[in-house]
């Protein structure tokens, strides 16, 4: 008999998102619509390999020196240095003063985990709590719990306005115990699609500073949100300019379409001062030990593809155009969906569809309404009412709008 009995190892619940994907695949309806997955789709609901990624892939595969050797523990240097400049800015004081250290990670998930593990091990005890937005990306809860950090939340989404609960957010950060960790979404907040304005970011930075809190940015959508790489990195760069000691998790899944290649980076930025370089060097040494004990070396292929593009001016320009293509199609779908709901006279205010940004929209639909959309209309979305705008296209947006209109009217 196994020692791993049910009372020792209980059956874990199925991951809700991957369970939703499996249910969608089983559905035989020709009307079915997948609005659950956080991956870009073209207007025919197909995965889109970025043209610039195809070019980089061809260059890589035709390189006579291509091999499959181990990378260093910290990853591909050309990739991490370019990633650092991309998120912080080439003229960032942290880059110029060599107080930023970067490690290649297993996409953004691995970067969040590595950062959480480092903070859990090295922050002074008793460990502070990490404050997550309510709501946040579901995996944040599991990642930080698994590395021993206590979770707390700050208000973020206003169900009433379907926008940012800025006052609630600021009040909670002000009330947090001194030295707390504050997890912030750099842009295109997941799952709400609601971002602070630049003026609001400045006020957030002020209350984080006043509480001596530690900012931890998660950036999964740079360039994908607005189509502008610098605009989407504005909050991160502002915090660096303000002299915060902080860290950043960076993903290339969405903005390069390298979902399965798991390319990402973790950055630690030491606060400015005479000891900054020494701090950065010591932190880098400990991050390398943590990385070595978990994955030894990060994967090479996706990082090489991204590195080729990031370090080639011509390809970089083509990548920016690809980003505008993706973000532009999503923005267009937001406008079309809102227009159709308005034309139908669907009860309620739907301005939030176009005021939100990025891949996701928090529709405001209830769990019961989401269930009806799935059972009656074969439309698959997470039960909290989040939809992936990338799943909408000119072939299904009319059907989706009519379904939403019907469900809202029936459940008033």
**What pLDDT score does 38 carry?**
83
Name the average pLDDT for the chain.
Answer: 95
Within a 10 A sphere around the Cβ of 114, how many other Cβ atoms?
26
pLDDT digits (tens, 9 = 90+) for 363-381: 989 999 999 999 999 999 9
Quick one: pLDDT band at residue 411, thresholds 50, 70, 90? confident
The arithmetic mean of pLDDT across residues 16-43, rounded, is: 89
**What pLDDT score does 1 carry?**
83
The arithmetic mean of pLDDT across residues 337-356, rounded, is: 94
pLDDT digits (tens, 9 = 90+) for 104-152: 999 999 999 999 999 999 999 999 999 999 999 999 999 999 999 999 9
Percent of the chain, pLDDT > 90?
Answer: 92
How many residues does this entry show for the chain?
412
Query: 403 with 379: CB under 8 angstroms?
Result: yes
Q: Return the higher-pLDDT residue of 378 and 37.
A: 378
Quick one: pLDDT band at residue 69, thresholds 50, 70, 90? very high
**What pLDDT score does 354 carry?**
94
The arithmetic mean of pLDDT across residues 169-198, rounded, is: 96
End-to-end CA distance of the chain, in Å? Answer: 54
172: enclosing H helix or E strand: helix 166-175
**What pLDDT score does 145 carry?**
97
The CA distance from 389 to 38, in Å, is: 9
Catalytic positions, written as ranges? 137, 218, 254
Percent of the chain, pLDDT > 70?
Answer: 100
Closest by alpha carbon to 205, among 159, 238, 177? 238
Tally: H helices and E strands in the chain: 17, 13
Query: 270 with 283: CB under 8 angstroms?
Result: yes
Query: 353 with 337: CB under 8 angstroms?
Result: yes
pLDDT at 412 exceeding the cut of 80:
no
Q: Is 43 helix (H, G, I), strand (E, B) or coil?
A: coil
The arithmetic mean of pLDDT across residues 164-173, rounded, is: 97
The arithmetic mean of pLDDT across residues 188-203, rounded, is: 96
pLDDT digits (tens, 9 = 90+) for 322-338: 999 999 999 999 999 99
Longest distance between any two alpha carbons in the chain, whole Å: 65
In order of 92, 100, 140, 227, 269, the CA distances from 234 in angstroms are 12, 17, 22, 13, 16
pLDDT at 299 exceeding the cut of 80:
yes
**What pLDDT score does 265 carry?**
98
Which sign, positive or negative, has the C-alpha torsion 134, 139, 140, 144? positive
pLDDT at 101 exceeding the cut of 90:
yes
Quick one: pLDDT band at residue 255, thresholds 50, 70, 90? very high
In order of 275, 294, 297, 393, the CA distances from 281 in angstroms are 10, 20, 19, 48
pTM comes to: 0.94
Strand pairing category for 214-219 and 246-251: parallel
231: enclosing H helix or E strand: helix 229-232
pLDDT at 20 exceeding the cut of 90:
no
Quick one: pLDDT band at residue 306, thresholds 50, 70, 90? very high
**What pLDDT score does 13 carry?**
86
**What pLDDT score does 37 carry?**
80
The CA distance from 375 to 399, in Å, is: 15
């Amino acid at each position: 008999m196994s020692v791993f009995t049910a009372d020792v190892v209980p059956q874990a619940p199925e991951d809700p998102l991957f369970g939703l994907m499996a249910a969608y695949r089983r559905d035989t309806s020709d009307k079915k619509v997948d609005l659950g997955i956080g991956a870009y789709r073209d207007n025919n609901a197909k995965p889109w390999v970025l043209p610039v990624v195809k070019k980089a892939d061809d260059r890589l595969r035709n390189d006579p020196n291509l091999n499959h050797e181990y990378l260093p523990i910290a990853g591909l240097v050309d990739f991490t240095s370019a990633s650092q400049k991309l998120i912080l800015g080439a003229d960032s004081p942290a880059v110029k003063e060599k107080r930023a250290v970067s490690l290649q990670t297993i996409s953004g998930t691995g970067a969040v985990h590595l950062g959480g593990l480092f903070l859990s091990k090295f922050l002074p005890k008793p460990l502070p709590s990490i404050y997550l937005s309510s709501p946040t990306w579901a995996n944040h809860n599991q990642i930080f719990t698994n590395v021993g950090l206590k979770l707390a939340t700050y208000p973020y989404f206003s169900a009433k306005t379907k926008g940012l609960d800025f006052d609630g957010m600021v009040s909670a950060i002000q009330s947090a115990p001194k030295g707390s960790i504050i997890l912030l979404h750099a842009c295109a907040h997941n799952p709400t699609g609601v971002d602070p304005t630049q003026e609001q970011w400045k006020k957030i930075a002020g209350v984080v500073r006043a509480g001596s809190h530690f900012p931890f940015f998660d950036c999964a959508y740079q360039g994908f949100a607005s189509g502008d790489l610098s605009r989407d990195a504005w909050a991160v760069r502002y915090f660096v300019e303000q002299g915060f000691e902080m860290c950043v998790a960076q993903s290339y899944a969405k903005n390069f379409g390298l979902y399965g290649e798991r390319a990402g980076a973790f950055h630690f930025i030491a606060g400015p001062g005479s000891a900054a370089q020494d701090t950065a060097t010591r932190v880098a040494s400990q991050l390398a030990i943590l990385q070595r004990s978990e994955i030894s070396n990060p994967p090479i292929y996706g990082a090489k593809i991204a590195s080729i593009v990031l370090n080639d001016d011509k390809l970089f320009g083509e990548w920016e155009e690809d980003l505008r293509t993706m973000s532009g199609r999503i923005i267009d779908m937001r406008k079309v969906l809102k227009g159709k709901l308005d034309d139908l006279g669907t009860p309620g205010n739907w301005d939030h569809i176009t005021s939100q940004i990025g891949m996701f929209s928090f529709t405001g639909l209830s769990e019961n309404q989401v269930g009806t959309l799935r059972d009656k209309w074969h439309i698959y979305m997470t039960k909290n009412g989040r939809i992936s705008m990338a799943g909408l296209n000119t072939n299904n947006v009319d059907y989706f709008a009519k379904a939403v209109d019907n469900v809202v009217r029936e459940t008033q």
